[in-house]
Structure 1
């Protein structure tokens, strides 16, 4: 999973950290080797014992021609909520910003996914109306109000527990050109309390008229969601569907196979599944023209299921719950 490594590429551009790696292990480049402002996705981050994020960001705005920056990656900012004001106050300096990733944080070394602190991110979306991509990692304290954007094409939330209020706010937003939506729903213990009713506006096709790529990820409820997706009107106009990194078992796959045809899809992502070899074989036979992503949880976790009893009573886990 890409979540375990810092972003190397974003929005089609290589990621370049302003000022060098904030942990001090990677020094800033010598004079003359800094890329042109529009040639990279700029990453701004601090470290546990480094300067405050606001100071780092101010230096970035002062030293780089931010008017040419099209993609921005926000790394570790501290164990406090996302400094939204720092970003919104600088919005005028980024007239051409089209892609923003918030939370490119090492979840093993800097902060677990469930620890990444947020606040209301609606002001960010309103301050940067030209954003075509907006991606957020972490959801502790995250809130969102319904918003409108004619520019936004990609919206992604990576979390161990995505609040239902955030899901409902997305559903109530006016996003006529949104093409991709990924929701890492997580577990209730981490705040992931969204229900099938909260997802209904996406599944019934009544919202997001341009949606072509839809993902429901990192949730223990994938079997039930697969059943809902199997008859969801929105699927007929999708190019790709992802039900990954959660507790997808044969029951969910059987629902997909028994539901509406999926042969029109270009891709079906089921990585992190708990499917039997027989069921994966049936999927491959039923969808010969579809690119299937079928990395099993047993492969991801080291070659075998480490849970459950010999009688078949197993516990199934999502990929990231901490």
Structure 2
């Protein structure tokens, strides 16, 4: 399930492409600054740098009113680390006092595979935008040289309500750093853990801060997704204290089998959940029916779509390379 489309909505706002390929900016009417999530990125044949396009965006829009920004490709031809593009964004923090949501890496597989995206330390985003409420970062492993991998340092942020890392392989040090952050307002956390082959080396023990519950008291939606150890995660979640405070739980996009589903059914009751998302799974029809009878019948919105069949016992996550 490679990512083949750009997002169309972010932070409750429609995404508006700044400098589309089809027509120059001066030939079309721009939306009100706060009425759109502004997507800024480079075309494959762009002659300008990302910093030049970013500066043009800031100069063309009343940026003091911009609430949401989506960052597309930050390179034109050869892949480049996010480092310089992110530095340009961070330097502009003073011009974006109303920014509440930032999506880094709205990139399709045709532009760059998710595990080829060359990243950097994204901690400066949280340090420079203290009013940010939502952060999404796509990409993590880069070219494995240690310089273009995703990184994060533990920080305190008082207003962040939603955090999502999308990766074909999320480094364990990033997972541990999230667990060490102080995020008292965090309501929604989603981690695409991915494959060890692409740098996703987080262990079950690295998930302990999320499963214990006390670290993030406002958490109501937890997604531990896109993992090759989805059964182990399901077993850990089945008796995790955090579940009692959740409204929504997602173990989707990974390699969940009957073993993981049996653990969920044998653990603590899940009937208080508003939704349980297990889509993209390897469950038998029998276990799917047991889940429907136990949880669906109790009013839980249960997503069991995209059942997969193993290929000679090989199971795959939805987003790998």
Q: Would you say same fold, with TM above 0.5?
A: yes
Deviations 1:215-266 (A, max 9, x none): 0111110101100000000001100000011100000000000000000000
Residue matched to 1:193: 201
SS in 1 for 2:112: coil
**How many Å separate the matches in 2 of 1:71 and 1:34?**
15
CA-CA distance at 1:293 after TM superposition? 1.1
SS in 1 for 2:39: strand
Residue matched to 1:87: 89
CA-CA distance at 1:3 after TM superposition? 3.5
Match for 1:41 among 23, 37, 40? 37
Residue matched to 2:260: 252
Residue matched to 1:318: 317
Residue matched to 1:132: 133
Residue matched to 2:182: 174
Residue matched to 1:62: 59
**How many Å separate the matches in 2 of 1:280 and 1:29?**
50
Residue matched to 1:113: 114
Q: Is the 8 A contact 1:275 1:296 kept in 2?
A: no
Residue matched to 1:97: 99
**How many Å separate the matches in 1 of 2:153 and 2:266?**
37
Q: Which blocks of at least 5 consecutive residues in structure 2 are unaligned?
A: 142-148
Q: Which blocks of at least 5 consecutive residues in structure 1 are unaligned?
A: 299-304, 309-313
Deviation beyond 6 Å, 4+ runs, structure 1: none
TM-score normalized by the length of structure 1: 0.92
| Residue range with higher mean Cα deviation, 3-12 or 218-227 | 3-12
Alpha-carbon distance change, 266 to 95 in structure 1, aligned in 2, over 3 angstroms:
same
CA-CA distance at 1:296 after TM superposition? 2.6
Q: Is the 8 A contact 1:171 1:202 kept in 2?
A: yes
SS in 1 for 2:222: strand
SS in 2 for 1:56: helix
TM-score normalized by the length of structure 2: 0.93
**How many Å separate the matches in 2 of 1:249 and 1:306?**
10
CA-CA distance at 1:32 after TM superposition? 5.6
**How many Å separate the matches in 2 of 1:129 and 1:110?**
31
What number of residue pairs does the alignment pair up?
A: 306
Residue matched to 2:146: none
**How many Å separate the matches in 2 of 1:294 and 1:35?**
38
Match for 1:293 among 303, 308, 314? 303
Q: Relative contact order (alpha carbons < 8 A, sep ≥ 6): 1 or 2 greater? A: 2
